[in-house]
Chains A and B, each alone.
Chain A
Amino acid sequence: MITIRGLRKWFDSRRGRVEALRGIDLEVAEKEFCVLLGPSGCGKTTTLRCVAGLEKPDAGELEIAGVLASSPARRIHIPTEKRDIGMVFQSYAIWPHMNVFNNVAFPLIKGRKKIPKDQISHKVRNALKLVQLDGLEDRPATDLSGGQQQRVAMARAMVTEPKLLLMDEPLSNLDARLREQMRVELRKITKAVGVTTLYVTHDQAEALSLGDKVCVMHDGEILQMAPPHEVYARPANLFVAQFVGEMNFVKGKVAGSAQVECPLGTLPVQVPSSLSAGSSVTLAIRPEHIKLSAKDGSGASLVGAVSSKNYLGDAALLEVVVNGVTLMAKLVGDVELTVGDEAAVELPVHRWHVFP
């Protein structure tokens, strides 16, 4: 549905050229929900705006539904209004001088597809029903709450039944509870309509729960492109490991093809073949994979002291200090351990990640 090859974009500022995109390659299949995830300034919004045609890329090619939409080398740039897309903006961009009905109807009346007049009202009502705003047609746009504006923006983006839906941090201006609710609803709506979606966010929980595919971006590049569970379970590099989910990091040195020395001892973990003995590595393990139990004298290899406990209700986060290294462990259910307790620490070997 979308094919991006070697997309580059730079801005000339007073301090010289700033590379916003350093060669993006991306493939989004029909009806796929693809999430661009990354910290601010990583190029995710620029990528989305290039797909929308709101930015002109400086190099590379962009294809939408088999049609070449942007190719600076061939001097092709289809303007935004000619692309078959719908877009939801971070600020919602609800036109303040129109009511809800007119906001949603505008793409049908003045848009790229000419719709027979008698169908407009029907289509608008359907779109509003989809986002559960039916009955608010006559409300002025200036009288809507944030959540309602968000829904109007959704209805407006979907009303023309575009092949491609683009969303730029649509939930970031909502409060936490509403955001979670809308997240579930968003997934339901896009799946029900079957629209291909490109979604930008800096919130990893949003990315993992919404995407069929997650692209983690940093500094104008895609670092990893994979289904959410794979991004979480097998981060491609140190940045992805840091950015997605919680992670404990321990510095170490390669001691052999399957041995790493670190303050926790010599761990029998698989080392990437590119690393020779003696090179520095970072070991990583997720808090939920660390097992803690009350020390019962049964010859556990590692012992740590609990230094803090953060109760979360369904789980608890505990910090343990082992050989001078502070590790965060997430324990599900009721936890007997309290601050000051000695605990036996178990670090399953197959849960460790090794990064150069």
Chain B
Amino acid sequence: MKAEADLGVIGRVVDVKAHGLGLFSSGLLALLILMVGVPLVMVVLMSLRTGFPGEGGALTLANFVAVYSSPGTYKVLLNTVLFALGTVLVTLVFAVPLVWLLNRTDLPLKGTIYVLMTVGILVPVFLRTIAWILLLSPRIGLVNQWARQLFGMDHPLISLYNIPGMAFIQGVSFVPSAFFMLAAAYRTMDPSLEEAAYTSGVSKFQTFLRINIPITWPAIAGVMVYLFMSAIAVFEVPAIIGFPARILVLSALIFTSTNPPTGLPDYGLAGAYGAVMLIAGLALAYFYVRLVQHGKKYTVITGRGYRPRQISLGRWKWPALAFVLLYLSMEVFIPFLVLVWASLLPYLQLPTAEAFSQISFNNYETIFDFVDAQPFINTAILMLAVPTGTMFLSVLVSWIVVRTQVRFRGSLDTIAFLPHAIPSILLAVGLGYLGLAYRNFFPVYGTIAIIAIAHTITWIAYGTRTTNGVMIQVHRELEEAGKVAGASTLRVLGRIVLPLVASGIFNSWIWISMLSYREVTMALTLGTRKNLVISTIVWQFWGNGWVPQVAALGVLLVLFAVLVVGILKIGFSRFGGEFGSGN
């Protein structure tokens, strides 16, 4: 009788716990749907309204009619597609050989190359673009100045102000992320699949054609789709090079509609432009997920206990290193050196004796004459709040997705991945509209909070991907052993799971902090005079034509990022790195 009563109590406790978990998961799902869904609904809503945000009125298709009856729109769409295709092409031309060289050959200096690729991610795209303009602009560019002086040329030697130029800079910027995605896929391919073809008497070329390409195709195609998706949505290169060259793409149009140089913002037009981008983004994301799943099916089958054979480059070692150096120069060295050079001079000039005599740190010393402390404080807030919020949500989502049997855990995972498919500029425009039209319910427009929210939503996709990976690595039995030992669910999470995943979570915390630090598209779209951050300040300086100040602030921006990441990585590898579950 007593035993029965005890069992009853236990039963009820278990029931309450299961119920609590369900409630908690539903709450989290609702929150995510709200965070991701509301900005999207806003984009749709504003596309169906005219006038200033908050002015009601009947829903109308007027914006769509205005946008899609104009021939200019189709020119813009064509530009967008050409720019995106060119970008993908440039990225693959560099990324595919790099993946092969660094994973399958005995290329020297691999460690250093990896570090420099990571540094490449830390140089913000807009700074790299500016640096390339300082080098290759038809009027002020150093190369063209030099060509005029040396050959007396009356027309510029080379110009960036065209679609190939834009695609080149954007493409080079995408290489590190494409590299890391492809390398992951490549490493899961069992080299004996290739060797089995050789031992079957199949030639190297036929093996490459019939074995390597088909097996890695889902991964390559996945990366291509992902890059295309990103290239459609990027804003920095199209704005910095495209505007002056009058080459407009969708993202630039959306930005000018909501932040016009003169006159009132037209969110309705932005919504109508955004609708195409949104549909394209979602469709591409669907393809991407399908391709990734297809690729996974192929890697399930690989056996264990193989060691990849390194192909000896022999006398091709030096050309291969030269190729890597060429890439790293375009990605890191040249842009950074140009910025450093420009930052030390009163105005941009060729490295002559006269120029060297004018070198000083004046531009660094006078930065605070142009900007007060608030943008720095705002940036610091972003760098702490965004990664913390994102990783907090990501850990909770991943724990439910990977560890529990909650019925809708699949939907939770999908919703968390969705921001990947939403162009960040659209997300920002949607949030901006929400903040303007419904400022009574959502009083954050013009504050740093709205930028922090936009960033958090965007990177929750990245955050959950890494936390999913890290959680899967921690074997379920480790957790179950804790429960068997009599520890409560909360204690198991705190004392067993968290310490094991800490290094992985810390790694992505740093990354998200750095991404937030260098992000400019959303910060600009949602920017007012009160919530400026460092990246938008650089942007403003550039708009004002203050080249030396842009360069000085840019150099500091990069140095600070490299320093922070370097110190944190070294410090962490000394203290907690032995778990090594990161990345």
Residues on A lying within 8 angstroms of B by beta carbon are: 52-55, 79-87, 89-97, 106-107, 110-113, 141-142, 149, 153, 156-157, 160, 166, 169, 172-173
Contacts and interface: CB of A to CB of B under 8 A. Distances in A.
B76 interface: no
Nearest to A11: B310
Given A90-B303, A90-B306, A111 B200 contact: yes
A110 B193 contact: no
B149 interface: no
B198 A142 contact: no
Interface stretch (B43-51, B208-216, B486-494): B208-216
Interface of A is mostly: loop
B206 A93 contact: no
A153 B200 CA distance: 11
Nearest to B299: A96
B192 A93 contact: yes
B302 interface: yes
Nearest to A89: B192
Contacts of B442: none
A92 B303 contact: yes
Among A52, A107, A110, A166, max chain B CB count under 10 A is at A110
Contact of A96 (B195, B204, B301): B301
B108 to A, nearest CB: 12
A80 B199 contact: yes
A107 to B, nearest CB: 3
Contacts of B479: none
B377 interface: no
B201 A156 contact: no
Interface in B80-128: none
Interface of B is mostly: helix
A87 B298 contact: no
A112 B199 CA distance: 10
B303 A96 contact: no
Contacts of A142: 297-298, 300-301
Given A92-B303, A107-B201, A80 B215 contact: no
Contact of B201 (A93, A97, A113, A149): A113
A107 B200 CA distance: 5
Query: What 10 A-B pairs have minimum CB-CB distances, sorted nearest first?
Result: A91-B303, A112-B201, A107-B200, A111-B201, A87-B199, A93-B196, A80-B198, A93-B192, A89-B192, A96-B298
Nearest to B215: A97
Contacts of B297: 96, 142
Contact of A95 (B193, B203, B304): B193
A54 B309 contact: yes
B305 interface: yes
Interface string B205-237: 011001100110000000000000000000000
Given A91-B305, A141-B301, A107 B190 contact: no
Interface string B456-484: 00000000000000000000000000000
Contacts of A166: 199
A81 B204 contact: yes
Interface string B52-93: 000000000000000000000000000000000000000000
B559 interface: no
Contacts of A89: 192, 195-196, 303, 306
Interface string B151-179: 00000000000000000000000000000
Q: Which of under 10, 10 to 19, 20 to 34, or 35 or more describes the interface residues of B?
A: 20 to 34
Contact of B192 (A91, A160, A172, A173): A91
Contact of B195 (A54, A82, A169): A54
16 contacts: A79-B198, A83-B201, A89-B195, A90-B305, A91-B304, A95-B211, A96-B300, A110-B197, A110-B200, A111-B200, A113-B201, A149-B301, A156-B196, A157-B200, A160-B200, A173-B305
B30 interface: no
B202 interface: yes
Given A52-B198, A93-B195, A160-B201, 8 more contacts: A84-B201, A86-B199, A90-B303, A90-B305, A91-B192, A92-B303, A106-B200, A173-B305
A84 B215 CA distance: 26
B303 A106 contact: no
A112 B300 CA distance: 30
B204 A95 contact: no
A260 B304 CA distance: 48
Contacts of B201: 81-84, 107, 110-113, 160
A160 B202 CA distance: 12
Among B195, B201, B298, B306, max chain A CB count under 10 A is at B201
B304 A81 contact: no
A31 to B, nearest CB: 20
Nearest to A140: B297
Contacts of B300: 96, 142
Contacts of A85: 199
B303 A93 contact: yes
A173 B198 CA distance: 22
A133 to B, nearest CB: 16
Contacts of B195: 52, 54, 80, 87, 89, 93
B304 A173 contact: yes
Contacts of B197: 81, 95, 106, 110
A113 B202 CA distance: 10
B508 to A, nearest CB: 30
A183 B214 CA distance: 34
A12 B298 CA distance: 33
Nearest to B199: A87
A91 B215 contact: no
A96 B212 CA distance: 11
Contacts of B204: 79, 81
Among B195, B199, B207, B298, max chain A CB count under 10 A is at B199
Given A90-B192, A96-B298, A97-B215, A110 B304 contact: no
A94 B201 CA distance: 15
A81 B301 contact: no
Contact of A91 (B210, B211, B306): B306
Contacts of A52: 195, 198-199
Given A81-B201, A173-B304, A97 B214 contact: yes
A1 B306 CA distance: 28
Contacts of B202: 81, 106-107, 110-111
Nearest to A108: B200
Contact of A110 (B206, B301, B303): B206
Contacts of B309: 54-55
B192 A110 contact: no
Nearest to B307: A45
Contacts of B215: 95-97
Nearest to B191: A93
A157 B196 CA distance: 9
A86 to B, nearest CB: 7
B200 A86 contact: yes
Contacts of A82: 201
A97 B216 CA distance: 10
Interface in B232-291: none
A84 B567 CA distance: 56
A80 B207 CA distance: 12
B199 A157 contact: yes
A97 B200 contact: no
A95 B198 CA distance: 13
Nearest to B300: A142
Nearest to A141: B301
Contacts of A169: 305
Given A54-B309, A113-B201, A95 B196 contact: yes
A201 to B, nearest CB: 13
Nearest to A166: B199
B142 to A, nearest CB: 42
A156 B200 CA distance: 8
Contacts of A172: 305
A110 to B, nearest CB: 5
Contacts of B211: 95
